[in-house]
Structure 1
Amino acid sequence: MILGVLNQKGGVGKTTLSVNLAASLARAGRRVLLIDADPQGSALDWAAARQEGPLFSVVGFPRPTIHREIAQIGNGYDHIVIDGPPRVTDLARSAIMASDLVLIPVQPSPYDVWAAEEVVKLIEEARVYKESIKCSFVVNRKIANTAIGRDVGEALSAYPVSVLSASITQRVVFAEAAGQGMAVHEVEPGGPAAAEIEAVTAELMELAR
């Protein structure tokens, strides 16, 4: 599976989600490559902060040729996760074209719901050339027990894109793990954050079939 994690709005938690999904896939015994396609290089920073042995490979490739070079870059890997750029650019278009499945993280905010339109348009454009691209929203950084956290799924239903049943709650452990270059399952094994990541991973694997 080639999974692109994209949203043109910055600050939606793309890198945190990309890193932890890659870690979840690697835990299942798969060879995983995380491609940092964001010029800010946050996933590379995460890898540099890590003291332990690598969970998976991380490479920086913020170029608008990912879709043409993905076969070579990802040769020998079972799964590839692309941490996409935060703006609508040729680089974002290339990341979408390289993906089998695009995951769009959306925070429970009206601004995020409105901003999602841009990446949905990009995916629809890409399908002209690659009809098989699948996509789904995931609610990320949800505030537990709030009305807006519950209502965001309904707000996203205006788009022709499914919303994952699993979601990710705002938790301090995500930041604590990132600061150490670790995944949440390493910092808090069996904790709720790790369980949420596993649930999203399982749903994505079903969707990718």
Structure 2
Amino acid sequence: MPGRILVVAQQKGGSGKTTLAAHLAVAHAVTRRVAILDVDPQGSLGQWFERRERRLGEGATGLEMRTASGWGAKREARLLAREHDLVLIDMPPRSDLEARNVIEAADLVVVPVQPTPVDLWATEATLELVERGGPPAVLVVNRAPARPIGEAVLAALNALPAPLAATQLVNRVAYGQTMGSGGTVIESFPSSKAAAEVRALAIEVYGMLPELPRRSGTR
């Protein structure tokens, strides 16, 4: 049984795609075989993985890493899914044809959105791509302010043609501190509010995927 493919996509740059992809990958790697695929030409996820590998050692990252572009990204994702329970793909911003091509291979598309009008506009364009690609999508409020989101913005989020995840990721300094060394808040600050939010989001998102096989020898 092949693994599942989860795409993290957002047309607007600076939405926190890479941070979200890295954290979801590490959260799920506790009990699953996880691969990450960097399709963004900026290569931020690949740079994060290289720092992680230097710090932890080759073969000790808990993840497998690949890069791809164009038509090859969909093929690479499907190849990785043969050997892994979950493949997480970090998509480039402002991409149409390439994004749609990869989205076609996905089982679920996670769309991070910051609670601002500009980000909401970009999210509408992203969801249009997802609709043409076919798989379901879920919106994740990312870099949320510590205070509750305003009613107008919340209403606009709920009006978008995709469900809104119940779990929000609050804008916290810890994300930047850990990503720079190839880490995550789950590993560096396991008892923090940030780590609790990531774990809760991981459970929620993975619950939307078809059931995944549990890796032998894990709890």
Note if contact 2:9-2:112 (Cα within 8 Å) is conserved in structure 1: yes
Report the more deviating stretch, 80-89 or 34-43: 80-89
Offset, 1:185: 1.0
Match of 1:182 in 2: 183
Offset, 1:157: 1.9
Match of 2:25 in 1: 22
Note if contact 2:22-2:184 (Cα within 8 Å) is conserved in structure 1: yes
Aligned-partner SS, 2:83: coil
Report the more deviating stretch, 81-90 or 11-20: 81-90
1:105/1:30 CA distance change after superposition, 3 Å: same
1:71/1:194 CA distance change after superposition, 3 Å: same
Match of 2:120 among 113, 121, 125: 113
1:96-138 Cα offsets, whole Å, 9 max, x none, are 11210000000011100111111111111112xxxxx111100
Match of 2:217 in 1: none
Between the two proteins, the alignment pairs up a number of residues equal to 202
- Partner Cα separation in structure 2 for residue 13 and residue 152 of structure 1: 19
The amino acid of 1:85's aligned partner reads P
Whether 1:9 aligns to 2:9 is no
Q: Would you identify which runs of 4 or more consecutive aligned residues in structure 1 move more than 4 Å? A: none
The amino acid of 2:168's aligned partner reads S
Report the more deviating stretch, 158-167 or 89-98: 89-98
Aligned-partner SS, 1:181: coil
Q: Structure 1: which 5+ residue stretches go unaligned?
A: 128-132
Q: Return the TM-score normalized by structure 2.
A: 0.87
1:5-51 Cα offsets, whole Å, 9 max, x none, are 00010000000000000000001x21000100101000110011120
Offset, 1:151: 4.9
- Partner Cα separation in structure 2 for residue 64 and residue 8 of structure 1: 19
Offset, 1:187: 0.9
% identity of equivalent residues: 37
Match of 1:45 in 2: 47
- Partner Cα separation in structure 1 for residue 205 and residue 148 of structure 2: 25
Offset, 1:142: 0.3
C-alpha RMSD over aligned residues: 1.4
- In the TM superposition, what are the counterparts of 1:122-201 in structure 2 within 5 Å? 122-127=129-134, 133-148=135-150, 151-201=152-202
- Partner Cα separation in structure 1 for residue 165 and residue 33 of structure 2: 24
- Partner Cα separation in structure 2 for residue 184 and residue 95 of structure 1: 28
1:22/1:124 CA distance change after superposition, 3 Å: same
Note if contact 2:78-2:105 (Cα within 8 Å) is conserved in structure 1: no
